[in-house]
Structures are given as structure tokens and as C-alpha cells.
Structure 1
């Protein structure tokens, strides 16, 4: 038997052309729960999936054939067999090593499995590096949603060992789930209908809600068509409004010049700004790139912590005592200029405080703080490299357009007919 594959979609789904320019506004009355690491995330997601009655929508960058991946596979198969509609969208790079047998078992059970921009290896090397589906979203029965940075892999569990990742996600119950549900349907190429609780916004709402209320949630996303800068702009706007504190924990930190400048400017006007970076990276280049920016930030009062217990994979931030964001987007060129990403903005004091306490404990107990005045070693080399780095950052969006401009696509993996 073989797995049949055919083209069904381009970078955006053909079923709903209006999905190309969807804007989602602030939704009030939501309950948002912080889920730290796989120990909190996987039980919550798996319980929701086991209780599903109608539909499971899942997008992920990575799914491995380990204990987490096999448990997810079993839950999805069981759900599909009891009549739940299950749609799984996987990235062709992050999930490129999944075996045909693993995918076939899902397809034969009735799970709709789609691979985003798959590509065969060239000389044993995967070449589909850019414009990845990097989102991590789960929506169950259009009533509960999960979004964050956690993939479906055992390296998000503490018992994985020293390489286990530190990461965050949220569970959302309330009106904002309708937006996440609509978005997940549209991006998967499924039939999208206007539902009560969701409406299309012609104007982009401010990243900062006007309502003085808790439980406010807004979905923002990045694509390569009409929403190229939405996540970056949300960060910039929030930083420009900061008055008391800013905490950013981000795994891959190499933002554009405008965002970097807003971080520095916040510290200059007296805001307590803390950055939590990788001290024990899973990608060494990420640490080296981030460190090129330290001097620029430290001299203006930004406090930089490096998390050294295990690899940091989080993509979270908070401003003052209300505003927070959790999602899939790193603050690096891949996430801000190339990949397909999704975050939620949250205005909720209790959630903000919960996230703040978690990050403060992380910085206090498991990080080393960079000295405000570093030794001026190799200053000429640092000055030269720093100059080059800043100009690359400033012009990266234009440079990124030179990268392979293929049209990513979703391909369904179908249950094959049995050989006669």
C-alpha cells in the first residue's frame, strides 16, 4: 500500500478567500489558564480531546513518534472512530521524519491529516527551511482552545532529561474561542461559515484594548500576505505604552531594529525591563546572535537573565499589570518575517500576575544575570560586528524577500485503498 497525496491549497485556503485579511478584535469574558511545560499542557489538551463530541482541530510545527506522539495518535484515532471530525495540520519540515505507518494509521481511522509544504530530501538534507507553519493551536468542539509554544513531543517533559524544554501555553474558554475556531478552520482549508460570536473586522483594532475589563483576549497572527507585521506591531505598541514593568521570555531573540529600540526606550524612561534568554540553548547560534545585542540593551538599564537549567523554548511577554502575550512567535527573523505564527494578546490582571510570578521565579532561581558593565574585551571586533548586525536587522524584511519564494501548500494524506 502507499499513501496517496494530492495538492489542495496554496499559502492561504481556497475555501474562504476572505480569510486572507481577517482581523480579530478583543473579546471579553474569557477564562485564561497558564499551562507551563508539558506536565500541565498535555494532560489538559488530552482530556479535552478525550471529551470531544463533534470536532478537533490541531495545528503543530512538530509531532514526534515518541510517548507523547503515540498517546496523541491513540486519542485522535479513538475520537475519529466514535464520529468526531478530526483535522490535523502538520508542518512538512518539523514533522518531516514521521513514518508512513504512523500517518497511515491516522488516515485509515478517518483523521484528516494535512502536511504543510512537504518536500523530499536532496542529498539526504531537507531543503524546505523557510516559511514554515510554526503555529501550535488546538480547538475542541469550538468551546475550548489551546495556543502557545509547546509542540507534541516528549522533550517538553521534565523526565526527558537535561534537554527538556521550558515552555508555555494557555487554555482559553469563552468568546475568544470562536475566533480561534474560525481561524483554525480557515487556515486548514475547511468550509468556513460566519457564526454567532464571530464577525469580520474591516479595521485593525489597536493591540491595546480600550475597555477596562479583565478576561480580554485577542488573536493575532502572521502570514506572508496581509498580516506580515501584526505580531511585531503588537509588541511595539505595548512596549510604547509601558509605564511600570516589562518582562519578555523568548527562546530566539534577534528582533528587528524598531522592536529593539522600543525595549531600550522603555528602560530609558524608567520602566523596569527584564529579558529572559537562552543560557543553555538547543541552537547555539541563537545564543550567539542574542548576545550580540546585550551591550546595546544593558547600557540603558535593561536587565538580562540567561536561563541555564535547560533549553528555553518560551515565547511570552507581559507589560505592566494587565497586558500579556503567549503564542508561537519568537522574536527573531524567522518568526517575524517568514513563518506562519499565532499569538494571543491577553488583558487580565490575574493572568498577568500568574505569568509574572512564574517568570520571576525562573529568573530568581534558575538564571544568571548579565553584568550591567561588561569587560571591554575585543571592543573593535564587537563594534564592527555590532554595526553589521544592526544594519542586517534594520533591513531584514527586504532581505527576506530574496529567500526562496515558493508557494507553500497543504497536502492531504489519504487512507489508501487496499491492494486486491
Structure 2
């Protein structure tokens, strides 16, 4: 496996919440001429899922090659009609690691495909934390999620394109296709670039767009890149000289991560965490709050977002480092799930993200002070802190005991005679 590479001169635009994200993705699908590849953890059959369904079916019927990967745990209840209409339009729907329910419960909770990626025609891409569900829209109500994604144009899209096609190839396990698929994997890894933007393509120039950004695709899997996302976070935090701002929905990182934040704060870096104040799951806030004493006493500033559930996974360091993606900072994302982030270098995008996070902290967050923490019997707090400390220190090793089966991609609607990965159109894009 080759090491991830930095790609210069990319356009990046921040898309905040479903109101910005969904129209842009659906418009890109409607304009697609050759190929659409989508990976998503959640696809619900609500108004957002139905809008995606309509856009994919329309594109499929006009001959666009479409590959949609959903997670078996995150998207378990799509109807036969929903999937059948996609298949009839030529959309290939693959389920990552589907699992049978046991007494009505989903047990395939480990090793989930948690990525959210879209690549259109090999030159336009989206990545972030937003799923295809109505709870990413403000009109959903108090449970609507606050979240972020980016649209990308430039050389980084070729890397994303290679990645999603390679994952499809590696996940498909039909023996009679194996040699052909492995040949495709090798071809994808050897090609320096994929399809370039057509001459008619315009640069991203919206109010939340930046140009000339260096970009790096960083992924987490259970084969070769088990700690890459965490390592890039740690390297940025350890080198910080001015500020670190992290907005993350599920925050319970490892011992090294907490240590790096504390050390940064103690050497004078302005370290701020934006965490959930109105969580979608109560255990999320409870787990994060167990770390508050430890962080606050080192000078880390903590803000709880209180308008609605926070679902974002973004961060910035100093004036030129940023990241946006699907990875939370908890044991599932850092040690078990399949994740994807982009790391971005450039003052333009860093400034855009800084303004949006500062707006969030000023208008929608409560800053936690030491006196806000409930006083507890000091003996119990010491015991609890001891166990939390050692759990954080050792959980990366503990996760190695969890199931390490090889997840598979399976067709949601088995075709009569499924072809090998990539039609002529997909192959032409390589």
C-alpha cells in the first residue's frame, strides 16, 4: 500500500448542514455524464432518501454508471420497492457487511462502513459527516443535526476516485471475478490521475469556498491504515503554536490524544473543544463529561453546543491546517469503523471554517467552567478517573479482541448476471 500523498491546487467549499449539502449533491448527480459513486453509512427512506433515489434513478436511466454502497447496520430497513426501482434503473446497490437481526436487534455494530463520500465523473467530489436522512435538515425539529461536509475539485478528487473504486473491488468476493478485480485494483494504484475536469467546469467561488488548497485523503480501515486519522490529528496538535479548535460529536479519544491536548494547552496554545450539549444519545455526553475535569484543569476550554444535536467531525489548527470527514473521536471511529477524512492545508479554507466555528461558539454554545461541574465525593471521582485513564490508555489494544471478520459487499438486489466491477464507462475513467 502506498502512503497517502498531498495534492496541491484544489478548490474546497464548506457545506454546512443538509440545506447546503443535499441540493449540491443532487445537482451534481443530475449533471453527471459518466459515473456516480456514493458511499454512505445511513440512507433512510424519508424525503431526503427519496430525493436521492429520484436523482439516481434519473441518472441511471440515461446511462450513467452508478454504484451506491450503504452500510448494513446504518441502513437496514430500505424497502424492496425502493431497492428494486434503483436496480431497474441500472443503479448497483451494494450493502457493506449485511447482518441478520437476532430477536429484532442488529448485532453487526462493529467494523461498520461509516464513510460519506460522493465522486461524480471523476472530477467532482464530496466528503464529510452528512448522511442521507431528513434529520440533517433544520425543519426536522429539535433533533435536527448540526454537521459539515466539503465539495472538492482538483487533483484530490482523483485520489478519492481511486479509493472508492478500489474499495468496491476489494469488497466484492465472487471467485470468478477475483482475478479481473485484482487486476483493476493494481491498475488503479498505478495510475497517477483519473479523469480531469471538463473545459466547461467552473471553479468553486462561493462565500465558503477557497482555492489553491493542499489536500490529503486520510482513511481508517482494519487492514493497512488502522491509526492514520488519529496520527494526523496528533501530529497537528503537537505542532500547534497558536490554536486548536475541534468540533466533534462523539468525543472519547485515547490517552495519547488527551495528553496531546493537555500539553498543547499548557504550552500556551488556545485549545477549544465543541462537544454535544443536547446529544442524540445521552451516553455520549456522559462519556465526554468524564474527561472535563482532566481537560479543564490543563487549560483546555470546553463548549457545549446546545441548540440541537451536534454531528460534525471537523477541526482546525493554527492558521492553515483543517480536517473535515466522517471520523468521530471515540473508540468506534478510531479503532473499529471504516472512516475517511480530508486534511487541508491553506489559510483560505482555514479562515472559512474558523468563522463558522466561532459563530457557533458565540451564538449556540455554553462554555463549561470548573464551577459548572457537579461536585462529587472526591474519593469516587479519583476511583472513576483511575479507571477512565487506564481504559483510554489501553483501549486500542483491547479492541484487537473484538471480531475481525472480513466484511463483504453484497448486492442489495442480486442481479441475474452481475458483471465485474466497472463498465466500459468506469474503465475509461481510469
What residue in structure 2 maps to residue 408 of structure 1? 407
Query: 2:2, 2:286 → 1: CA distance?
Result: 37
Contact 1:222–1:340 (Cα < 8 Å) also in 2: yes
Superposition RMSD in Å: 1.4
1:209-358 alignment, distance < 5 Å: 214-358=212-356
Check 1:22–1:78 CA distance in 2 against 1; reply closer, same or farther (3 A cut): farther
Query: Could you tell me whether the CA contact under 8 Å between 2:307 and 2:364 is conserved in 1?
Result: yes
- What residue is the counterpart of 1:371 in the other structure? 369
- The answer for the alignment partner of 2:379 in structure 1 is 380
- 2:81 equivalent among 101, 104, 119: 101
Structure 1 portions without partners, runs of 5+:
1-20, 199-212
TM, length-normalised to structure 1: 0.89
Tell me if structure 2 keeps the 8 A contact 1:57–1:184.
Answer: yes
Are the equivalent residues in 2 in contact too, given 1:214–1:349 (CA < 8 A)?
A: no
Aligned to 1:26: 6
The structure with higher relative contact order (CA 8 Å, sep 6+) is: 1
Structure 2 CA distance for aligned equivalents of residues 73 and 290 of structure 1: 37
1:4: which partner in 2? none
CA–CA distance in 2 between the matches of 1:351 and 1:248? 15
Q: Identify the residue that residue 110 of structure 1 maps to in structure 2.
A: 90
Q: Give 1:407 shift.
A: 2.0
Task: Quote the offset at 1:382 in angstroms.
Answer: 1.7
Matched with 1:188 is 168
Give yes or no for contact 2:11–2:152 (8 Å, CA) kept in 1.
yes
CA drift at 1:22: 4.0
TM-score scaled to structure 2, two decimals?
0.87
Name the structure 2 match of 1:48: 28
1:297-321 deviation line (CA, Å, top 9, x unaligned) = 1011110000010000000000000
After the TM superposition, which of the residue ranges 385-394 and 250-259 deviates more from structure 2? 385-394
Name the residue aligned to 2:199.
Answer: none
Q: Name the CA distance, whole Å, in 2 between partners of 1:416 and 1:218.
A: 36
Q: CA deviation at 1:196?
A: 4.1
1:140 corresponding residue in structure 2: 120
> What is the alpha-carbon distance in structure 2 between the residues aligned to residue 334 and residue 322 of structure 1?
28
Q: Which has the higher helix share?
A: 2
In the TM superposition, what is the alpha-carbon distance from 1:275 to its structure 2 partner? 0.2
Aligned partners of 1:408, 1:76: CA distance in 2, in Å? 26
Structure 2: where are the runs of 5+ without partners?
170-180, 195-210, 417-430
Q: Kindly indicate whether the alpha-carbon contact (under 8 Å) linking 1:107 and 1:415 is maintained by their aligned counterparts in 2.
A: no
